[in-house]
Amino acid sequence: MDHRRVLVVEDEGFTSGLVCAALRGGGFEVRAAASAAEAKREVADFDPDAAVIDVGLGVGPSGVDLAHVLHHQSPGIALLLLTKLPDLRAAGYTEADLPDTCGLIRKEAVTDADLLVKAVEDALADQVQRMKGQVDQASPLASLTPTQFAVLRLVAQGYTTPRIAEMRGTTISAVEKVLGSIYDALKLDKEDGISRRVEAMRIFIEHAGLPPRD
Are 111 and 9 within one domain?
yes
Are 168 and 84 within one domain?
no
Are 99 and 180 within one domain?
no
Note whether residue 140 is domain-resident.
Answer: no
Note whether residue 139 is domain-resident.
Answer: no
Are 14 and 115 within one domain?
yes
Angle, CA 58 vertex, CA 119 and CA 45 arms, to 5°: 60
Are 117 and 192 within one domain?
no
Are 119 and 157 within one domain?
no
Note whether residue 141 is domain-resident.
Answer: no
* Phi, psi (rounded to 5 degrees) for 149: -65, -45
According to DSSP, the β-strands at 102-106 and 78-83 are parallel
Q: 67, 93, 124: which is the final residue of a domain?
A: 124
Write the pLDDT tens digit of every residue in 53-69: 998 887 778 899 999 99
Q: 89, 124, 159: which is the final residue of a domain?
A: 124
What pTM value is reported for the model? 0.71
Note whether residue 87 is domain-resident.
Answer: yes
Rounded CA separation 80/190 (Å) = 43
User: How many domains does the chain fold into?
Assistant: 2
Average pLDDT over residues 188-194: 80
Note whether residue 133 is domain-resident.
Answer: no
Are 19 and 63 within one domain?
yes
pLDDT at site 60: 79
Secondary structure (DSSP) of the chain: -PPPEEEEE-S-HHHHHHHHHHHHHTT-EEEEESSHHHHHHHHHHH--SEEEEES--SSSS-HHHHHHHHHHH-TTSEEEEEES-SSGGGGT--GGGS-TTEEEEEGGGGG-HHHHHHHHHHHHTT-----TTSS-TTSTTTT--HHHHHHHHHHHTT--HHHHHHHHTS-HHHHHHHHHHHHHHTT--GGGSS-HHHHHHHHHHHHH--PPP-
8 A C-beta contact, residue 36 and residue 82: no
Are 12 and 90 within one domain?
yes
Are 18 and 102 within one domain?
yes
Q: 124, 156, 178: which is the final residue of a domain?
A: 124
Angle, CA 38 vertex, CA 36 and CA 44 arms, to 5°: 105
Average pLDDT over residues 21-30: 92
* Phi, psi (rounded to 5 degrees) for 34: -105, 0
**Is the pLDDT score of 31 beyond 50?**
yes
Range of the domain at 199: 146-208
Note whether residue 150 is domain-resident.
Answer: yes
Write the pLDDT tens digit of every residue in 146-172: 899 999 999 999 999 999 999 999 999
pLDDT at site 7: 96
CATH number of the domain bearing residue 172: 1.10.10.10
CATH number of the domain bearing residue 89: 3.40.50.2300
**Is the pLDDT score of 140 beyond 70?**
yes
Rounded CA separation 38/177 (Å) = 44
